[in-house]
Chain A
Protein backbone atom coordinates (compact mmCIF):
# COMPACT_ATOMS: atom_id res chain seq x y z
CA UNK A 1 0.00 0.00 0.00
CA UNK A 2 2.65 2.45 1.10
CA UNK A 3 4.47 2.43 -2.20
CA UNK A 4 1.43 2.86 -4.39
CA UNK A 5 0.99 6.25 -5.98
CA UNK A 6 -2.28 7.01 -4.23
CA UNK A 7 -0.74 6.62 -0.76
CA UNK A 8 0.47 9.79 1.06
CA UNK A 9 4.18 10.44 1.32
CA UNK A 10 3.75 12.08 4.72
CA UNK A 11 2.92 9.75 7.60
CA UNK A 12 0.04 10.48 9.97
CA UNK A 13 2.61 11.37 12.61
CA UNK A 14 4.14 13.99 10.31
CA UNK A 15 0.72 15.41 9.45
CA UNK A 16 0.09 15.83 13.19
CA UNK A 17 3.46 17.55 13.54
CA UNK A 18 2.56 19.88 10.67
CA UNK A 19 -0.72 20.79 12.35
CA UNK A 20 1.08 21.42 15.63
CA UNK A 21 3.61 23.60 13.82
CA UNK A 22 0.88 25.78 12.34
CA UNK A 23 -0.87 26.02 15.71
CA UNK A 24 2.35 27.12 17.44
CA UNK A 25 3.01 29.71 14.75
CA UNK A 26 -0.46 31.18 15.15
CA UNK A 27 -0.03 31.29 18.92
CA UNK A 28 3.27 33.13 18.52
CA UNK A 29 1.90 35.64 16.04
CA UNK A 30 -1.16 36.21 18.21
CA UNK A 31 0.99 36.93 21.26
CA UNK A 32 3.11 39.30 19.19
CA UNK A 33 0.05 41.11 17.83
CA UNK A 34 0.75 40.15 14.22
CA UNK A 35 -2.44 39.90 12.14
CA UNK A 36 -3.09 36.86 9.93
CA UNK A 37 -4.03 37.84 6.38
CA UNK A 38 -4.88 35.99 3.19
CA UNK A 39 -3.88 37.48 -0.16
CA UNK A 40 -4.62 36.15 -3.65
CA UNK A 41 -2.48 33.38 -5.09
CA UNK A 42 -3.28 34.63 -8.58
CA UNK A 43 -2.04 37.93 -9.97
CA UNK A 44 -1.81 39.69 -13.28
CA UNK A 45 1.82 40.40 -12.38
CA UNK A 46 4.68 38.14 -11.39
CA UNK A 47 8.04 38.20 -9.61
CA UNK A 48 10.73 39.45 -11.95
CA UNK A 49 13.57 37.60 -10.18
CA UNK A 50 15.37 35.78 -13.05
CA UNK A 51 15.97 32.74 -10.83
CA UNK A 52 12.33 32.19 -9.91
CA UNK A 53 9.87 30.81 -12.45
CA UNK A 54 6.14 31.41 -12.11
CA UNK A 55 3.42 29.10 -13.35
CA UNK A 56 1.10 30.88 -15.74
CA UNK A 57 -2.64 30.20 -15.55
CA UNK A 58 -4.43 31.74 -18.51
CA UNK A 59 -3.59 35.43 -18.30
CA UNK A 60 -2.56 35.34 -14.65
CA UNK A 61 0.34 33.97 -12.63
CA UNK A 62 0.44 31.84 -9.50
CA UNK A 63 2.39 33.62 -6.76
CA UNK A 64 5.92 32.48 -5.88
CA UNK A 65 5.52 34.29 -2.55
CA UNK A 66 2.79 36.54 -1.07
CA UNK A 67 5.23 39.45 -0.84
CA UNK A 68 3.74 41.88 -3.32
CA UNK A 69 0.11 41.97 -2.09
CA UNK A 70 1.31 41.88 1.52
CA UNK A 71 3.37 45.01 0.89
CA UNK A 72 0.29 46.66 -0.57
CA UNK A 73 -1.52 45.84 2.69
CA UNK A 74 1.39 47.34 4.63
CA UNK A 75 1.25 50.52 2.57
CA UNK A 76 -2.51 50.80 3.18
CA UNK A 77 -2.76 49.86 6.87
CA UNK A 78 0.75 49.87 8.36
CA UNK A 79 0.20 46.98 10.79
CA UNK A 80 2.24 43.81 11.35
CA UNK A 81 0.91 40.98 9.20
CA UNK A 82 1.62 37.31 8.52
CA UNK A 83 0.40 34.64 6.12
CA UNK A 84 0.81 30.90 5.71
CA UNK A 85 0.50 30.41 1.97
CA UNK A 86 0.96 27.70 -0.60
CA UNK A 87 3.37 29.09 -3.18
CA UNK A 88 4.38 27.77 -6.57
CA UNK A 89 7.79 27.73 -8.27
CA UNK A 90 8.28 26.00 -11.58
CA UNK A 91 11.34 23.84 -12.15
CA UNK A 92 12.06 23.08 -8.51
CA UNK A 93 12.03 19.42 -7.52
CA UNK A 94 14.39 17.39 -5.40
CA UNK A 95 15.02 16.09 -1.92
CA UNK A 96 14.36 19.57 -0.49
CA UNK A 97 12.24 21.07 -3.24
CA UNK A 98 8.69 20.69 -4.46
CA UNK A 99 7.07 23.02 -6.99
CA UNK A 100 4.21 23.70 -4.58
CA UNK A 101 5.30 24.37 -1.02
CA UNK A 102 4.24 26.18 2.15
CA UNK A 103 5.66 29.55 3.12
CA UNK A 104 5.16 31.47 6.37
CA UNK A 105 5.76 35.10 5.48
CA UNK A 106 5.57 37.95 7.96
CA UNK A 107 6.32 41.68 8.19
CA UNK A 108 7.17 43.71 11.30
CA UNK A 109 6.72 47.48 11.03
CA UNK A 110 9.48 49.56 12.56
CA UNK A 111 11.97 46.67 12.66
CA UNK A 112 15.18 46.41 10.66
CA UNK A 113 16.72 43.08 9.62
CA UNK A 114 18.64 42.73 12.90
CA UNK A 115 15.50 43.09 14.99
CA UNK A 116 13.70 40.69 12.68
CA UNK A 117 16.48 38.11 13.08
CA UNK A 118 15.80 38.22 16.82
CA UNK A 119 12.11 37.71 16.08
CA UNK A 120 12.87 34.69 13.86
CA UNK A 121 15.18 33.31 16.51
CA UNK A 122 12.53 33.67 19.22
CA UNK A 123 9.93 31.88 17.10
CA UNK A 124 12.32 29.08 16.17
CA UNK A 125 13.32 28.62 19.79
CA UNK A 126 9.68 28.14 20.75
CA UNK A 127 9.12 25.66 17.92
CA UNK A 128 12.28 23.68 18.65
CA UNK A 129 11.50 23.53 22.35
CA UNK A 130 7.86 22.49 21.85
CA UNK A 131 9.09 19.71 19.57
CA UNK A 132 11.40 18.49 22.30
CA UNK A 133 14.66 19.28 20.58
CA UNK A 134 17.66 20.99 22.17
CA UNK A 135 18.04 24.71 21.47
CA UNK A 136 21.40 26.21 20.67
CA UNK A 137 21.75 29.93 20.21
CA UNK A 138 22.09 30.72 16.47
CA UNK A 139 25.45 31.56 14.96
CA UNK A 140 25.88 34.54 12.61
CA UNK A 141 28.17 34.31 9.62
CA UNK A 142 28.86 37.15 7.18
CA UNK A 143 28.44 36.06 3.53
CA UNK A 144 31.17 38.39 2.29
CA UNK A 145 33.65 37.30 4.98
CA UNK A 146 32.94 33.62 4.44
CA UNK A 147 33.40 33.82 0.66
CA UNK A 148 36.48 35.98 1.10
CA UNK A 149 37.99 33.34 3.41
CA UNK A 150 37.32 30.52 0.94
CA UNK A 151 38.79 32.50 -2.00
CA UNK A 152 41.60 33.97 0.11
CA UNK A 153 40.88 37.41 -1.36
CA UNK A 154 38.94 40.53 -0.31
CA UNK A 155 35.34 40.07 -1.45
CA UNK A 156 35.39 43.12 -3.71
CA UNK A 157 38.35 41.67 -5.67
CA UNK A 158 36.81 38.28 -6.38
CA UNK A 159 36.14 37.34 -10.00
CA UNK A 160 34.73 34.23 -11.64
CA UNK A 161 38.18 32.72 -12.28
CA UNK A 162 39.05 33.05 -8.58
CA UNK A 163 35.99 30.97 -7.80
CA UNK A 164 36.82 28.42 -10.52
CA UNK A 165 40.31 28.13 -9.05
CA UNK A 166 38.92 27.28 -5.61
CA UNK A 167 36.95 24.39 -7.11
CA UNK A 168 39.96 23.13 -8.98
CA UNK A 169 42.18 23.37 -5.87
CA UNK A 170 39.69 21.25 -3.94
CA UNK A 171 39.23 18.82 -6.84
CA UNK A 172 35.52 19.67 -7.11
CA UNK A 173 33.58 19.70 -10.36
CA UNK A 174 32.83 23.21 -11.70
CA UNK A 175 30.41 23.68 -14.60
CA UNK A 176 32.09 25.74 -17.31
CA UNK A 177 28.56 26.72 -18.37
CA UNK A 178 28.72 29.32 -15.56
CA UNK A 179 30.84 31.42 -17.90
CA UNK A 180 31.16 34.98 -16.59
CA UNK A 181 28.12 34.83 -14.36
CA UNK A 182 29.75 35.68 -11.02
CA UNK A 183 26.45 35.41 -9.11
CA UNK A 184 25.95 31.86 -10.39
CA UNK A 185 29.54 31.06 -9.42
CA UNK A 186 28.93 32.53 -5.96
CA UNK A 187 25.72 30.50 -5.54
CA UNK A 188 27.60 27.27 -6.18
CA UNK A 189 30.63 28.32 -4.12
CA UNK A 190 28.50 29.23 -1.13
CA UNK A 191 26.62 25.93 -1.33
CA UNK A 192 29.73 23.85 -1.77
CA UNK A 193 32.16 25.60 0.58
CA UNK A 194 30.27 27.84 3.00
CA UNK A 195 26.94 26.18 3.79
CA UNK A 196 28.64 22.77 3.75
CA UNK A 197 30.58 23.94 6.81
CA UNK A 198 27.53 24.89 8.89
CA UNK A 199 27.10 22.76 12.03
CA UNK A 200 24.51 20.04 11.39
CA UNK A 201 22.73 20.52 14.66
CA UNK A 202 22.72 24.30 14.84
CA UNK A 203 20.97 27.32 13.35
CA UNK A 204 23.04 29.74 11.28
CA UNK A 205 22.10 33.22 10.14
CA UNK A 206 23.96 34.09 6.96
CA UNK A 207 24.08 37.89 6.81
CA UNK A 208 25.53 40.74 4.76
CA UNK A 209 24.87 39.38 1.29
CA UNK A 210 26.56 41.30 -1.55
CA UNK A 211 24.59 44.19 -3.04
CA UNK A 212 24.27 42.24 -6.33
CA UNK A 213 22.03 39.79 -4.48
CA UNK A 214 19.88 42.37 -2.70
CA UNK A 215 16.58 41.56 -4.46
CA UNK A 216 14.01 43.68 -2.56
CA UNK A 217 16.26 44.54 0.38
CA UNK A 218 17.81 47.90 1.20
CA UNK A 219 21.45 48.35 0.27
CA UNK A 220 23.98 49.81 2.67
CA UNK A 221 27.74 49.86 3.20
CA UNK A 222 29.69 47.68 5.56
CA UNK A 223 32.58 48.91 7.70
CA UNK A 224 35.03 48.50 4.80
CA UNK A 225 32.83 50.50 2.42
CA UNK A 226 31.65 47.44 0.50
CA UNK A 227 28.02 47.69 -0.71
CA UNK A 228 25.97 45.02 1.05
CA UNK A 229 22.32 44.05 1.18
CA UNK A 230 20.28 44.34 4.36
CA UNK A 231 19.38 40.72 3.88
CA UNK A 232 19.75 37.50 5.85
CA UNK A 233 19.04 33.83 5.41
CA UNK A 234 18.38 31.22 8.07
CA UNK A 235 19.82 27.70 7.90
CA UNK A 236 19.04 24.66 10.02
CA UNK A 237 22.28 22.78 9.68
CA UNK A 238 22.89 22.90 5.94
CA UNK A 239 19.21 23.27 5.09
CA UNK A 240 18.04 26.70 3.89
CA UNK A 241 14.93 27.69 5.87
CA UNK A 242 14.23 31.37 5.38
CA UNK A 243 15.11 34.60 3.63
CA UNK A 244 14.57 38.03 5.17
CA UNK A 245 15.03 41.70 4.26
CA UNK A 246 15.01 45.15 5.73
CA UNK A 247 12.56 46.09 3.01
CA UNK A 248 13.36 48.58 0.29
CA UNK A 249 10.75 51.34 0.38
CA UNK A 250 11.94 53.51 -2.50
CA UNK A 251 9.57 52.92 -5.44
CA UNK A 252 11.96 54.36 -8.04
CA UNK A 253 14.82 52.15 -6.89
CA UNK A 254 12.46 49.17 -6.89
CA UNK A 255 11.37 49.87 -10.45
CA UNK A 256 15.01 50.05 -11.56
CA UNK A 257 15.69 46.67 -9.93
CA UNK A 258 12.66 45.10 -11.63
CA UNK A 259 13.84 46.47 -14.98
CA UNK A 260 17.34 45.11 -14.35
CA UNK A 261 15.76 41.70 -13.64
CA UNK A 262 13.93 41.85 -16.95
CA UNK A 263 17.16 42.70 -18.77
CA UNK A 264 18.77 39.60 -17.29
CA UNK A 265 15.74 37.52 -18.30
CA UNK A 266 16.14 38.84 -21.81
CA UNK A 267 19.87 37.97 -21.90
CA UNK A 268 19.15 34.46 -20.67
CA UNK A 269 16.20 34.10 -23.00
CA UNK A 270 14.02 33.43 -19.96
CA UNK A 271 10.36 34.35 -20.38
CA UNK A 272 9.53 37.98 -19.52
CA UNK A 273 6.82 38.72 -16.96
CA UNK A 274 4.66 41.78 -16.25
CA UNK A 275 6.02 44.08 -13.53
CA UNK A 276 3.69 44.59 -10.55
CA UNK A 277 2.63 48.20 -11.07
CA UNK A 278 0.20 47.97 -8.13
CA UNK A 279 3.13 47.18 -5.85
CA UNK A 280 5.12 50.11 -7.22
CA UNK A 281 2.13 52.43 -6.76
CA UNK A 282 1.75 51.20 -3.19
CA UNK A 283 5.42 51.93 -2.59
CA UNK A 284 5.02 55.40 -4.07
CA UNK A 285 2.10 55.97 -1.71
CA UNK A 286 4.41 54.93 1.10
CA UNK A 287 5.62 51.59 2.42
CA UNK A 288 6.34 51.90 6.16
CA UNK A 289 9.84 51.14 7.43
CA UNK A 290 9.63 47.38 7.98
CA UNK A 291 11.44 44.10 7.76
CA UNK A 292 9.96 40.91 6.31
CA UNK A 293 10.89 37.23 6.19
CA UNK A 294 9.67 34.10 4.38
CA UNK A 295 10.14 30.78 6.18
CA UNK A 296 9.67 27.46 4.37
CA UNK A 297 7.41 25.41 6.61
CA UNK A 298 8.10 22.11 4.82
CA UNK A 299 11.79 22.74 5.48
CA UNK A 300 11.04 23.42 9.14
CA UNK A 301 9.16 20.13 9.26
CA UNK A 302 12.07 18.35 7.62
CA UNK A 303 14.24 19.65 10.42
CA UNK A 304 11.81 19.00 13.29
CA UNK A 305 10.67 15.54 12.17
CA UNK A 306 14.08 14.12 11.19
CA UNK A 307 12.73 13.35 7.71
CA UNK A 308 15.34 13.18 4.98
CA UNK A 309 13.22 13.91 1.93
CA UNK A 310 10.48 16.46 1.27
CA UNK A 311 8.26 13.58 0.06
CA UNK A 312 7.96 12.63 3.74
CA UNK A 313 6.62 15.98 4.94
CA UNK A 314 4.15 16.92 2.22
CA UNK A 315 0.95 14.92 1.70
CA UNK A 316 1.54 14.38 -2.02
CA UNK A 317 4.56 15.72 -3.90
CA UNK A 318 5.37 16.15 -7.56
CA UNK A 319 3.63 13.89 -10.03
CA UNK A 320 1.78 12.05 -7.25
CA UNK A 321 -0.30 15.10 -6.43
Chain B
Protein backbone atom coordinates (compact mmCIF):
# COMPACT_ATOMS: atom_id res chain seq x y z
CA UNK B 1 0.00 0.00 0.00
CA UNK B 2 1.37 3.42 -0.89
CA UNK B 3 -0.49 6.65 -0.25
CA UNK B 4 -3.68 4.70 0.38
CA UNK B 5 -3.71 2.75 -2.90
CA UNK B 6 -2.60 -0.81 -3.62
CA UNK B 7 0.50 -1.00 -5.82
CA UNK B 8 2.51 -3.70 -7.47
CA UNK B 9 6.29 -3.59 -7.86
CA UNK B 10 7.22 -3.59 -11.52
CA UNK B 11 11.01 -3.17 -11.19
CA UNK B 12 13.48 -2.84 -8.36
CA UNK B 13 17.15 -1.89 -8.10
CA UNK B 14 19.41 -2.40 -5.08
CA UNK B 15 21.52 0.69 -4.44
CA UNK B 16 24.39 0.54 -1.99
CA UNK B 17 27.76 2.23 -2.10
CA UNK B 18 30.45 0.02 -0.51
CA UNK B 19 30.66 2.03 2.67
CA UNK B 20 27.27 3.67 2.45
CA UNK B 21 23.69 2.89 3.30
CA UNK B 22 21.35 0.76 1.25
CA UNK B 23 18.35 1.88 -0.73
CA UNK B 24 15.91 0.28 -3.13
CA UNK B 25 14.78 2.14 -6.21
CA UNK B 26 11.49 0.77 -7.47
CA UNK B 27 8.98 1.33 -10.25
CA UNK B 28 5.51 0.75 -8.83
CA UNK B 29 2.15 0.58 -10.59
CA UNK B 30 -0.94 1.91 -8.84
CA UNK B 31 -3.52 -0.85 -9.23
CA UNK B 32 -6.38 1.62 -8.95
CA UNK B 33 -5.20 4.23 -11.45
CA UNK B 34 -2.88 2.13 -13.59
CA UNK B 35 -0.12 4.77 -13.34
CA UNK B 36 3.49 3.71 -12.88
CA UNK B 37 5.79 5.89 -10.79
CA UNK B 38 9.30 5.64 -9.36
CA UNK B 39 9.71 5.32 -5.63
CA UNK B 40 12.90 5.05 -3.61
CA UNK B 41 12.91 3.35 -0.23
CA UNK B 42 15.60 3.26 2.44
CA UNK B 43 16.55 -0.31 3.33
CA UNK B 44 14.79 -1.35 6.49
CA UNK B 45 11.67 0.73 5.82
CA UNK B 46 8.40 -1.10 6.25
CA UNK B 47 5.51 -0.88 3.86
CA UNK B 48 1.98 -2.08 4.53
CA UNK B 49 1.04 -5.10 2.45
CA UNK B 50 -2.02 -4.85 0.22
CA UNK B 51 -4.62 -7.58 0.22
CA UNK B 52 -4.65 -8.03 -3.54
CA UNK B 53 -5.16 -11.23 -5.45
CA UNK B 54 -6.11 -12.27 -8.96
CA UNK B 55 -8.82 -14.86 -9.41
CA UNK B 56 -10.78 -16.38 -12.29
CA UNK B 57 -14.46 -15.53 -12.25
CA UNK B 58 -17.30 -16.09 -14.67
CA UNK B 59 -19.10 -13.05 -16.05
CA UNK B 60 -22.85 -13.36 -15.45
CA UNK B 61 -24.61 -10.15 -16.48
CA UNK B 62 -24.74 -6.40 -16.10
CA UNK B 63 -27.56 -4.17 -14.89
CA UNK B 64 -25.89 -1.10 -16.37
CA UNK B 65 -24.51 0.07 -13.02
CA UNK B 66 -22.68 -3.04 -11.86
CA UNK B 67 -21.19 -6.05 -13.61
CA UNK B 68 -21.79 -9.35 -11.84
CA UNK B 69 -19.27 -12.20 -11.62
CA UNK B 70 -19.31 -15.63 -10.00
CA UNK B 71 -16.52 -17.74 -8.54
CA UNK B 72 -16.97 -21.08 -10.37
CA UNK B 73 -15.81 -23.06 -7.33
CA UNK B 74 -17.63 -21.37 -4.46
CA UNK B 75 -20.51 -19.91 -6.49
CA UNK B 76 -19.91 -16.71 -4.56
CA UNK B 77 -21.03 -13.64 -6.52
CA UNK B 78 -19.25 -10.30 -6.61
CA UNK B 79 -20.11 -7.07 -8.39
CA UNK B 80 -17.64 -4.76 -10.12
CA UNK B 81 -18.42 -1.07 -10.57
CA UNK B 82 -17.70 1.16 -13.59
CA UNK B 83 -14.18 2.01 -12.36
CA UNK B 84 -13.22 -1.61 -11.86
CA UNK B 85 -14.68 -2.69 -15.20
CA UNK B 86 -12.92 0.09 -17.12
CA UNK B 87 -12.91 -0.70 -20.83
CA UNK B 88 -13.33 -4.42 -20.45
CA UNK B 89 -17.13 -4.12 -20.69
CA UNK B 90 -16.60 -3.74 -24.42
CA UNK B 91 -15.48 -7.35 -24.64
CA UNK B 92 -17.55 -9.12 -22.01
CA UNK B 93 -19.74 -12.01 -23.12
CA UNK B 94 -21.98 -13.81 -20.69
CA UNK B 95 -20.38 -16.95 -19.26
CA UNK B 96 -16.85 -15.96 -20.33
CA UNK B 97 -14.13 -16.57 -17.73
CA UNK B 98 -12.36 -13.34 -16.76
CA UNK B 99 -9.42 -12.52 -14.51
CA UNK B 100 -10.69 -10.37 -11.66
CA UNK B 101 -8.23 -8.53 -9.39
CA UNK B 102 -9.63 -8.36 -5.87
CA UNK B 103 -8.54 -5.76 -3.34
CA UNK B 104 -9.76 -6.47 0.18
CA UNK B 105 -12.11 -9.02 -1.39
CA UNK B 106 -13.77 -6.54 -3.78
CA UNK B 107 -13.22 -6.26 -7.56
CA UNK B 108 -10.51 -3.68 -8.34
CA UNK B 109 -9.97 -4.50 -12.01
CA UNK B 110 -11.32 -6.93 -14.58
CA UNK B 111 -9.46 -8.41 -17.55
CA UNK B 112 -11.54 -10.16 -20.22
CA UNK B 113 -10.13 -13.22 -22.00
CA UNK B 114 -7.32 -12.32 -24.46
CA UNK B 115 -9.55 -13.17 -27.43
CA UNK B 116 -13.31 -12.95 -27.79
CA UNK B 117 -15.65 -13.79 -30.64
CA UNK B 118 -18.48 -11.34 -31.17
CA UNK B 119 -21.09 -10.69 -33.85
CA UNK B 120 -21.03 -7.42 -35.77
CA UNK B 121 -24.22 -5.50 -35.02
CA UNK B 122 -23.76 -2.91 -37.77
CA UNK B 123 -21.30 -2.13 -40.50
CA UNK B 124 -21.53 -0.66 -43.97
CA UNK B 125 -21.59 -3.24 -46.77
CA UNK B 126 -18.33 -3.90 -48.58
CA UNK B 127 -18.32 -3.24 -52.36
CA UNK B 128 -18.56 -6.33 -54.51
CA UNK B 129 -15.17 -7.78 -55.31
CA UNK B 130 -13.51 -5.84 -52.55
CA UNK B 131 -11.24 -8.63 -51.38
CA UNK B 132 -8.12 -6.53 -51.79
CA UNK B 133 -6.55 -5.65 -48.44
CA UNK B 134 -5.61 -2.19 -47.28
CA UNK B 135 -8.94 -0.53 -46.64
CA UNK B 136 -10.78 -0.86 -43.34
CA UNK B 137 -14.18 0.22 -42.09
CA UNK B 138 -15.64 0.52 -38.61
CA UNK B 139 -17.74 -2.38 -37.29
CA UNK B 140 -20.04 -1.76 -34.34
CA UNK B 141 -20.53 -4.48 -31.74
CA UNK B 142 -23.43 -5.00 -29.35
CA UNK B 143 -21.28 -3.91 -26.42
CA UNK B 144 -20.54 -0.53 -27.94
CA UNK B 145 -17.08 -1.52 -29.12
CA UNK B 146 -15.96 -0.25 -32.50
CA UNK B 147 -13.46 -2.44 -34.34
CA UNK B 148 -11.65 -1.62 -37.57
CA UNK B 149 -12.34 -4.53 -39.93
CA UNK B 150 -11.39 -5.34 -43.54
CA UNK B 151 -13.87 -4.13 -46.17
CA UNK B 152 -15.06 -7.66 -47.06
CA UNK B 153 -16.40 -8.38 -43.56
CA UNK B 154 -20.20 -8.26 -43.41
CA UNK B 155 -22.77 -7.21 -40.87
CA UNK B 156 -23.92 -10.15 -38.73
CA UNK B 157 -20.61 -12.00 -39.10
CA UNK B 158 -18.82 -13.23 -36.01
CA UNK B 159 -15.27 -11.91 -35.68
CA UNK B 160 -12.38 -12.71 -33.36
CA UNK B 161 -10.94 -9.71 -31.49
CA UNK B 162 -7.73 -9.33 -29.47
CA UNK B 163 -9.04 -7.65 -26.31
CA UNK B 164 -5.63 -6.35 -25.33
CA UNK B 165 -5.50 -3.88 -28.20
CA UNK B 166 -9.08 -4.02 -29.56
CA UNK B 167 -7.92 -5.21 -32.96
CA UNK B 168 -9.63 -7.47 -35.49
CA UNK B 169 -7.90 -10.84 -35.72
CA UNK B 170 -10.03 -12.90 -38.11
CA UNK B 171 -13.51 -13.96 -39.15
CA UNK B 172 -14.93 -16.92 -37.30
CA UNK B 173 -16.52 -19.64 -39.42
CA UNK B 174 -19.87 -20.53 -37.95
Binding site for B on A (CB under 8 A): 49, 51-52, 91-97, 172-175, 177-178, 181, 183-184, 187-188, 190-191, 213, 215, 233, 240, 243, 294, 296
B residues 26-55 touching A (CB-CB < 8 Å) = 37-45
Instruction: Select one of B16, B37, B42 contacting A175, CB under 8 A.
Output: B42
B133 at interface by CB-CB < 8 Å? no
Contacting pair A213 B45 (CB below 8 A): no
Binds A, one of B17-25, B124-132, B134-142, B164-172: B17-25
For B23, what are the chain A residues with a Cβ–Cβ distance below 8 Å? 175, 187-188, 191
Contacting pair B19 A243 (CB below 8 A): yes
Contacting pair A184 B21 (CB below 8 A): yes
Q: How many A-B residue pairs have C-beta atoms within 8 angstroms? Tell me.
A: 69
For A187, what are the chain B residues with a Cβ–Cβ distance below 8 Å? 17, 20-21, 23
Contacting pair A188 B40 (CB below 8 A): yes
1/0 contact string of B120-163 vs chain A (CB within 8 Å): 00000000000000000000000000000000000000000000
Instruction: Select one of A93, A173, A190 contacting B40, CB under 8 A.
Output: A173
Instruction: Select one of B13, B18, B21, B43 contacting A240, CB under 8 A.
Output: B18
For B41, what are the chain A residues with a Cβ–Cβ distance below 8 Å? 175, 177
Interface bin, chain B:
20 to 34
Which residue on chain A has the smallest CB distance to residue B25?
A173
B residues 84-129 touching A (CB-CB < 8 Å) = none
Expressed in whole angstroms, the Cα–Cα distance for A190 and B39 within the complex equals 17
Expressed in whole angstroms, the Cα–Cα distance for A91 and B24 within the complex equals 12
Expressed in whole angstroms, the Cα–Cα distance for A1 and B40 within the complex equals 36
Q: How far is the CB of B93 from chain A (nearest CB, A)?
A: 38
Q: Given A94-B13, A94-B14 in contact, is the A183-B42 Cβ separation under 8 Å?
A: no
Expressed in whole angstroms, the Cα–Cα distance for A174 and B41 within the complex equals 8
With A91-B43, A184-B42 given, name 11 new contacts (CB 8 A): A49-B19, A94-B15, A97-B16, A172-B38, A173-B25, A173-B37, A181-B21, A184-B20, A188-B21, A243-B19, A296-B18
Contacting pair B38 A188 (CB below 8 A): no
Q: How far is the CB of A315 from chain B (nearest CB, A)?
A: 21
Contacting pair B21 A243 (CB below 8 A): no
Expressed in whole angstroms, the Cα–Cα distance for A92 and B43 within the complex equals 11
